[in-house]
Structure formats: C-alpha cells, structure tokens
Structure 1
C-alpha cells in the first residue's frame, strides 16, 4: 500500500477541495439570506450538474482513460475557482453572490464526479482482487479524513474572512492535485494500455460513447443485486441531503447555536468516521462483508431517527457523526460488492450510471426543503419521513441481498 501513496495524496486534495465547498456553500447562503429554504434551493442547484456528470464521466473514463480525465477534472476545478474568486472582487448583490456560489458548487461537483469515477476505475487495475476491500477502505478513509478538515476549515475561513481567500486556497488544492496527476509515473505505468487512445472521427467517437453508455445501462437494469444496492444508497443519500442543506439553519433557529457550527459538525463526523475506518480491517477479519453492510444500515437508521428528537447541540452532533460513520460502513460493503459484479470492460460506464442513480434524490431533498423547510418543525418532519422511507427500503433490499449474494 505504500507504493500507492501518490494516488492517495491526489485523492486527498481532490476530496478536500470538494468537501470544503459542500459544507461552505450552505453556510454562506444561510449567512446571506437567513433562510433554510434558500439553503435548500441552493443545494439542489449545486447537485444537478453532479448528476449530469456521473453517467457521462464513466463513459468518458472508459474511452479516454482515467489519467486524462483526472487531469481535465483538476485543471477545470482550478480554473473555475480562480475565475469565481476574481469575479467576487466586483461589487455584487447578495442574490448574485448566492447564484454564483450555486453555479460554482455545481461546476466543481461536475468535475469532482469525473475524478471520483476515474479513481474507482483505477482501484481494480492497480491491486489484486483479494486486497480490493482493503484498498477501498483506505479510499473511504481518505474521504472521511477530508470530512475532518474540510468542514472545520470552511467554517473558520467563512467566519473570519471573506469568500475570496476561501476560494484562493481551494484553487491551490486543485492545482496540487493537478500537478500530482501530471507527474505521477505510477498512474501512467499501471494504466498505460488504456491511455493510448487512437485518433477517431467525431461520428465514431459519438457512436462509441453512446454504445458504451447503452451497455452500462443495460447491465445495471439486468443486475438485481446492483438495483437493490442502489435502492439503499438512494434512500440513504436522500436523508443526508436534508442534513447537509438544512443543518446550518436548524442549528441557528432550532438549537439556538451558530450556523458556522454546521462546519464543526462535519469535523466531528469526520473524526468518528476515521475511527470507524481504522476498525473496518479488524471487523472484516472477524465478520463477513455482508454483516458490515447490514451493521452500517441499522446504525444509520437508528441515528437518523434519533437526530430528529435531539434537544441540544451535543446530542445532535453525536447522531450526526454516527450517520456519516454508518454511511462509510455501508459504502465499503457496496463498493467491494459492485467491483466483483461489474465486468472490467464496462466498469467505468456502469460506475458512472450507478453514481447518478445513487445520488439522484440529493437535489430532490434540496427542492423539498426549499418548498417545505420554512420552519423548524417542517424541517424535522421531512427528515423523519426520509428516515422511515430508508428503513423500509433497506429492510426489503437486504432481504433479497442476503439470499442472492
């Protein structure tokens, strides 16, 4: 695993920059508007480009190769954050700032999905199948590690400074990731055979991409195991969407804390998540991968129900952290299982489609919060309904998965 350190470092920079925006934008929007509904709508706008990117990034990665897609993703994020930082030097209204940050979050999310799919494609190519679960746990640990740094970083910068220094630092993070990918010999050596893409006509390129996209969709629709795995992930992310978009306002209005504490909540969740990540390899030596996934789902349901009835910041923070910890447990189970199910020749295409399906309800949660989240009681009610929906879907899905995997 030591030889993979450069890849882990690139993943770290990519995830840190993206997570900083995920937590920073809702805080900034609530700060400017004082509205939970506005945060919900901004969250929805931010997620739409991500969904667009997910299926097509998989197809593009299959065709052009993960290294080229990583370079494109990091360069684009560096350029966009720098450009928006320069735009903020102009005199803008609050509404214009909210729109700009919504578009920024969507654009960064679009290219983050490209980078994510590229890393998912790299994993099975650079390590043996019997060590795949261990590698996925390390990648999950990096993602959780950025949840320690990114939310607190976003909260501190946005509380003490303006948005411009915030974007400036993010630009450097993406620049470091870009340089790491360009200079990495490890990535090129392991996947050189799919990076040497011959020159083709635009018509042939379009036909190849369309064909690969169709093969990915066809495989997903035929695989009941993938469909049930997606059902759990969809309902899980639907609930998380409410928390990410509404926590800043709920902390301020419901628990009489500060909107910036939403960032620190993410840091707390990251700390607990890393502890869980350290325990996953030990857990897998004693129990099966299936039990790890089931444990994550049960823990998520309990914490999600409990957070609705939290009466103070401490309880809210504890359950918030457990929610993201349990999401990590299920993610290791899901990633490992789908890596064994999906054929390598269409792996990226299928992953891109699965990511789109898994997160498709994220913007919907933002829209629902925007429409019905005009009060604290409404926020708690929609979160409770999302929790109950998750419980029902997870029970039915694992009933099938336990019999067929």
Structure 2
C-alpha cells in the first residue's frame, strides 16, 4: 500500500505554494505597476485558461500511474516558476509574472484530476476518509497560505519569494515521489460527448437552468470583490501582511458560515419545490452587500461588506452542489456535472474583465459597485422573464 502520510503532506505543501502564489502575483503586479486594471486582467486570464483546461484536460491527460503523474506535475510547475521568473527579472516584463499564474492554474487543474483519479482507483475502501483529509488539507492551506504570503512580501525580496515557491513545489513533488507507487488503470476518458449530453439534459431541466443563472450572478460579483481586494486594502495604506490577515478572516468566516448553514438546513428542505427560489434571497444579499461597500469610508466596514458577499457565495455554493446532486440520477449527473462546471465558471473571467474595464475610469470601490448593479440587473431580468412565462402559461390553461 502507498505511504499515504507522505501523499497528504506533499499535497498540503503543494496547495500551500499554490495559495501563496495566487496571493502574491496580483499584489506584486499592483505594487509594481500601480494599475488596478491589471488585477482584473490577471483574474480573467487565470479563470479563462481554467475554463479551457476544465473542458479538455480530462481527454488529454492519461496515466498508468497517478502518483507518478502527480509528482511530475509538481516538478514541472516548480521549473516553470523558476524559468518564467528568471525571464521576468531579466527583462522586467510583467507578462512573465502573469504567465506564472496562468500556467500554474492549468497545472493545478491537472494535479487535481490526478489526485481524484488516484483516490478513485487506489483508495476505494477509504474514499470518505481520504476525501475528508484532502478537504481538510485544502481548507488549512487556504487559511495559512495568504497569511504566509503577506509576510513573505513584506519581509523578503521578490527573488527569494519566488525561489522559495519554486523549491516548495519541488519538495512537494519529492515527498510524493517517496510514496510507494501502485499500478493504476487509466481512468480519464474523453468527456466531449459527455459534456454535450450534459448540455442537452440541462436544457430540458428548468431547475438546472435557474441554478446556472443564479451561480453566474453571484460569481460575477464574487470574482469582482476577490480580484480587486488587494487594491482596496493597499489603497487604505495597509501593507501585505494586513491583506493576508484580511484573507484569513474572510476564509474563517466563510468556513464557519458553511458549517452553520449545514446545521440549519435539512435535506427535506432541499427537496422542496420552492428551495431554488429561496436561493435568490442569498444572491441578493451578496449583491447588495457588495454595492454598499462603496459608501463605507472605514476599512473594517468595507471588509465586512465584502465578507458578507463571500459568505453568500460560499453558502450558495454548498446549496448548489447539494441541490444539483438531488436533481439528477446517477447516470444524468455524470454527464451534467462537467457541463455545469463549465457554464458556472464563465462568470469568473467575466467578473475579472469587468473590473479591468471599470477600474480604468473609476476607483476600486466604485468599480465593484458598478459590477454589483450589473449583477442585480442580470438576475432581476431573469426573474421577471420567469414570472412572465409562468403567467402566460396560466393564461393559456384558462
């Protein structure tokens, strides 16, 4: 049997480097250029390539040994970061710094697919235990990563920061390399036809369409808040360490709210025909909170409003995943899941693009408020169209 302790430690170290990396790149770019629009561009580019990778990676990545594929991807990611940072440092071209984040996003998705496939093929008797451990590792790295990143930015020079991240990826790969390998059967099959079938099923399911509209409405404003957060905090004259603590606070509040939500909402409520409609209230809370951050002149009040938006997005995400599973049978779900993941993720690069456009003319807080208005109008138009169609159907009956 594989040495799972080394696998878990290696996975934690890998995720820690990832969360440090996605924190520091926009901060460094903003510090170097002073351009808020770059923050939206970085976010849009990272999620734009992830849309592509989510759709084609499962059909491209094949492996007979997932452990080997995991540590190879870790080593490759470390080398890419080292090489691109050298190009950035020798040329002062921000393009290479942004490319690190973009390529790392693709490799992050590949790494995730290999880990999931390893669990499915080699840890079938411990699926729940393994997934719980991996989820705990992910949450822990999400909490610690930004805090460490803020310290690294303020206490170390940029060369040492990126060298330590590249080395961290390689050490993570080494730990996983030391895991005893088990032969695995290829499990990644082409999913193009699966996605097409998923689109067809979704188009026939009104509830699924509503969930996709809702998800994109909340994700647009969520991505706007998260992408511009470094500029908002730094513009208040706080440093990167404080920004790290802000991210830690938001993550803790978000995790706590999910735990509380799961305690309050029962499975019976998920089966209610009105459950999806109730989710609109959560979305409106998130949108309205992001709009009201514009009126706050106090940093802590601004963070509170943004935290409410993140909480709304987190709670909605849990509700979405649960309702999605209950809405379809097992065979339908296999086809629907990749299609819905793609459709739901479209809003992330859109949010980044909108922030990139509006910050050229308005302040960071004004830009978030404008995106909030767009999100409000988008979801409201959908509700009005639904009410109109429902009313027309009733009139046809009579």
TM-score (norm 2): 0.74
In the TM superposition, residue 305 of structure 1 has moved relative to its aligned partner by 2.8
**Residues 232 and 397, structure 1, Cα contact 8 Å, conserved in 2:** no
Structure 1 equivalent of residue 376 of structure 2: 388
Rg larger in 1 or in 2? 2
Is there any run of 5+ residues in structure 1 with no aligned partner, and where? 200-204, 400-405
Alpha-carbon contact 1:27-1:262 (below 8 Å) kept: no
Q: Quickly say closer, same or farther: Cα 1:331–1:76, change in 2 above 3 A.
A: same
Within-5 A mapping of 1:201-280:
209-253=191-235, 255-258=236-239, 261-280=242-261
The within-5 A match list for 1:113-262 is: 113-116=109-112, 143-171=138-166, 174-175=169-170, 178=173, 195-197=184-186, 209-253=191-235, 255-258=236-239, 261-262=242-243
Note the 1:34-113 alignment, pairs <5 A.
Answer: 34-59=34-59, 68=66, 72=69, 75-89=72-86, 91-94=89-92, 96=93, 98-113=94-109
The alpha-carbon distance between structure 1 residues 265 and 303, as it changes in their structure 2 partners (threshold 3 A), is: same
Deviations 1:327-384 (A, max 9, x none): 2222222222323445656756643332222121222222222222123164244233
Matches within 5 A, 1:240-389: 240-253=222-235, 255-258=236-239, 261-284=242-265, 288-289=269-270, 294=279, 296-341=282-327, 344=330, 350-374=336-360, 375-376=362-363, 378-389=366-377
Going from structure 1 to structure 2, the CA distance change for 1:138 and 1:331 (only over 3 Å counts) comes to farther
Q: How far apart are the structure 1 equivalents of 2:172 and 2:323? A: 29
CA distance in 2, matches of 1:143, 1:391: 31
Distance 1:276 1:210, change over 3 A: closer
Change (3 A) 1:113 1:170: same
347 and 285 in structure 1: CA distance in 2 versus 1, 3 angstrom threshold: closer
Any residues of structure 2 matched to 1:27-38 within 5 Å, and which? 27-38=27-38
Query: Are the equivalent residues in 1 in contact too, given 2:25–2:101 (CA < 8 A)?
Result: yes
CA shift in 2, pair 1:349/1:180, >3 Å: farther
Partners of 2:301 and 2:156 in 1: CA distance: 29
Query: Please, which moves more after superposition, 10-19 or 362-371?
Result: 10-19
Partner of 2:394: none
Alpha-carbon distance change, 198 to 48 in structure 1, aligned in 2, over 3 angstroms = closer
Contact 2:290–2:369, Cα closer than 8 Å, also in 1: no
Normalising by structure 1, we get a TM-score of 0.73
**Alpha-carbon displacement from aligned partner over 1:57-111 (angstroms, at most 9, x marks no partner):** 34567x769x73x7646632442233322443464343x1x21121111111123
Deviation for aligned residue 1:393:
7.0
Say if 2:85 and 2:97, in contact at 8 Å, map to a contact too.
Answer: no
Distance 1:11 1:84, change over 3 A: closer
Q: 1:358 to 1:252 in 2, by over 3 A?
A: same
SS of the residue aligned with 1:35?
coil
Contact 2:30 2:38 in 1 (8 A): yes
Give 3-state SS (helix, strand or coil) of 1:196's partner: coil
**Aligned pair in 2 of structure 1 residues 150, 322: CA closer, same or farther (>3 Å)?**
farther
**Aligned-partner SS, 1:227:** helix
Question: Using a 3 Å threshold, how does the CA distance of structure 1 residues 278 and 8 change in structure 2: closer, same or farther?
Answer: farther
Aligned length: 375
Give the root-mean-square deviation of aligned CA atoms: 4.4
* 8 Å contact from structure 2 (residues 19, 141) kept in 1: yes
